[in-house]
Structure 1
Amino acid sequence: MFGFDLMPRIRNWKGLTFFQHSDQVTYHHIDSLFRGEGGNRNVIDWELVEKMWLDLMRVAISIREGRLNSVTLLRRLGSHSRKNEIYRAFREVGRSGRTVALLRFLADPALRRRITAVTNKVEGFNGFSGWLRFGNDGVIADNDPAEQEKMIKFNSLLANCVIFHTALDMTDVLRQLLAEGWQPEQSSDITAADIAQLSPYLTAHISRFGLYATDVLRLRPDDFDPDLSQIDFTDLAAAA
């Protein structure tokens, strides 16, 4: 309802329930996906969605405009939810969206690979930022929302700074290898695909408690130069 697709990595999808838009439709190859226990069809209640549509849009707009947060909404809908028509209408909309996402996931191998690759990156970043948030085992003990927000933002800032520093070190090493003769036209080449396998979430070279040389703080570092003109990135950009 907010105009974007949620594409999580789906495990054990065979245990999930598919819903069809009408009980008057049958599918030649995948009809069994839409049948529940006892052979009954799982059908979306579009009449309820139509009846509650204005209420659904009011809730969605309230969330988008910051008038209602998701926690408050879930708390309200969680009370006697089975009797709450707005809850039931949201459930039907969710069933529709999830079924479409599941069918796309099953039908498109390229989409599955892309979702897996992106999810791995997100999980890698979360693990890396958690490793940097080593004080108190990463537990945010303060109950003040403002302090909690600062802790999360400071952790993200620190993670991005370390990632940038690691990327600079990697770039220097690549330039050194290229200067030593690792040219793309030779058998021992460095390609864009090779560089794509590198990860900035390395931790072995980082001392979390630090060994700090304060005498270099006043030195201005060289300007950041992202150019690796010897590497052809056009094929990788097209693949992405």
Structure 2
Amino acid sequence: MKFYTHVSDRYAPFNTKVIAANASEAAHILDGLLHHESALDIREHYTDTAGAIDHVFGLCCLLSFRFAPRIRDLADRRLYVLDTHAEYKALTSIIGGAVDMRVVGDNWDEILRSGASIKAGTVAPSALMRRLAAYPRQNALAKALREIGRLERTLFTLDWISDPALRRRANAGLNKGEAHHALKRAVFFHRLGEIRDRTFENQSYRASGLNLAVAAIVLWNTVYLGRAVDELRSRGETVPDELVAHIAPLGWEHIAFNGDYVWPAEPLQNTFRPLRSPRADFLDAA
């Protein structure tokens, strides 16, 4: 199995799910976006090429999410248009066909019912995605969502080509996720990172515990990075907010993952460990 984790743009994990190792990640994207039980207001979601399928584009559009995958082999992708007789100039060679709006119109009520059921929690998005994938040709809803997804994917592809800020934002979001996974691998030293629990419930507990430990490290680092920045500014150092925005609270060199764990009888209230002096560290190194 593997842990499929959603990470916010502030590096904190807000949803994790145990899925089969050979399962498609695309089916579980919306589960985390809709049922994370946090205060996050999610507007845009980044993923790698594995999640860039038409049905996900269509459902994300219906549920008001901007789906922004980093698509590999972009030159081999095809665009879909509403009118194949129109003149598209430089894009003509990559036009793959026309979107069948008749199928969308015929099944519009069913599309709205499916979106409302997902939003209300009546059906899990992953369950609906599996059903759509099982009978893609016989299922009219699957055909309609595919057409919506083709249209959305085309619009996104054009934005991706013409908007460097979107490409930078998506790459930065994916890099945050990779850095977060690196911290998880460092934390999960017990049994060399192997999951030996046999029941799904215990595997879920293991995933949630790992998420909690990583979130605690992110919070701890964030608090002390803020105190360090305040200390530098109090000494007259210039630390612009634009620079602070690029500091990741994912370092773990200062954290002992194995050793003695001491729990005080009474928890410390509003007490911080003293900050190290950069000048003293420099003199010790010299």
* TM-score after normalising by structure 2: 0.64
CA distance in 1, matches of 2:144, 2:256: 52
| 2:108 corresponds to | 53
CA distance in 2, matches of 1:141, 1:60: 35
| 1:183 corresponds to | 237
Q: What is the CA distance between 1:6 and its match in structure 2? A: 0.7
Q: Given that residues 111 and 141 in structure 2 are in contact (C-alpha distance below 8 angstroms), is that contact kept between their aligned partners in structure 1?
A: yes
Equivalent residue runs for 1:29-44 within 5 Å = 29-35=90-96, 42-44=97-99
Q: Given that residues 195 and 203 in structure 2 are in contact (C-alpha distance below 8 angstroms), is that contact kept between their aligned partners in structure 1?
A: no
| 2:33 corresponds to | none
Bigger mean CA deviation after superposition, 102-111 or 117-126: 117-126
CA distance in 2, matches of 1:140, 1:24: 58
| 1:196 corresponds to | 245
Bigger mean CA deviation after superposition, 69-78 or 3-12: 69-78
| 2:128 corresponds to | 73
| 1:237 corresponds to | none
* Helix, strand or coil at the partner of 1:56: helix
**Identity within the alignment, %:** 24
Partner letter of residue 30 of structure 1? L
Q: What is the CA distance between 1:200 and its match in structure 2? A: 0.9
Q: What is the CA distance between 1:178 and its match in structure 2? A: 4.1
Q: Given that residues 63 and 69 in structure 1 are in contact (C-alpha distance below 8 angstroms), is that contact kept between their aligned partners in structure 2?
A: yes
| 2:200 corresponds to | 144
CA distance in 1, matches of 2:194, 2:77: 33
* Helix, strand or coil at the partner of 2:219: helix
CA RMSD of aligned residues (A): 2.7
* Helix, strand or coil at the partner of 2:98: coil
Q: Given that residues 130 and 138 in structure 1 are in contact (C-alpha distance below 8 angstroms), is that contact kept between their aligned partners in structure 2?
A: no
Q: What is the CA distance between 1:217 and its match in structure 2? A: 5.2
Structure with the greater relative contact order (CA < 8 A, sep ≥ 6): 1 or 2?
Answer: 2
Distance 1:171 1:217, change over 3 A: farther
Q: Could you list the per-position Cα deviations for residues 163-187 of structure 1 after superposition, in whole angstroms to 9, with x for gaps in the alignment?
A: 12122333344344445x5522xxx
CA distance in 1, matches of 2:149, 2:80: 10
Q: Structure 1 residue 28 and structure 2 residue 89: aligned?
A: yes
Partner letter of residue 31 of structure 1? T
CA distance in 1, matches of 2:81, 2:186: 44
Equivalent residue runs for 1:75-224 within 5 Å = 75-136=130-191, 137=193, 139=195, 141-145=197-201, 147-178=202-233, 181=235, 183-184=237-238, 190-215=239-264, 218-222=267-271
Bigger mean CA deviation after superposition, 73-82 or 156-165: 73-82
Q: What is the CA distance between 1:33 and its match in structure 2? A: 2.3
CA distance in 1, matches of 2:223, 2:64: 37
Partner letter of residue 200 of structure 1? P
CA distance in 2, matches of 1:60, 1:131: 39
Distance 1:201 1:101, change over 3 A: same
Q: Given that residues 77 and 94 in structure 2 are in contact (C-alpha distance below 8 angstroms), is that contact kept between their aligned partners in structure 1?
A: no
Distance 1:193 1:75, change over 3 A: closer
Please, which runs of 5 or more residues in structure 1 have no aligned partner? 36-41, 185-189, 224-240
CA distance in 2, matches of 1:19, 1:73: 24
CA distance in 1, matches of 2:119, 2:227: 44
* TM-score after normalising by structure 1: 0.75
CA distance in 2, matches of 1:140, 1:198: 35
Distance 1:8 1:75, change over 3 A: closer
| 2:65 corresponds to | 4
* Helix, strand or coil at the partner of 1:7: strand
Bigger mean CA deviation after superposition, 71-80 or 193-202: 71-80
| 2:12 corresponds to | none
Distance 1:88 1:218, change over 3 A: closer
* Helix, strand or coil at the partner of 2:81: coil
Q: Could you list the per-position Cα deviations for residues 58-78 of structure 1 after superposition, in whole angstroms to 9, with x for gaps in the alignment?
A: 222222222222333233333
Q: Could you list the per-position Cα deviations for residues 142-177 of structure 1 after superposition, in whole angstroms to 9, with x for gaps in the alignment?
A: 4334x4443333322221211121223333443444
The structure number with the bigger radius of gyration is: 1
CA distance in 1, matches of 2:206, 2:254: 24
* Helix, strand or coil at the partner of 1:82: coil
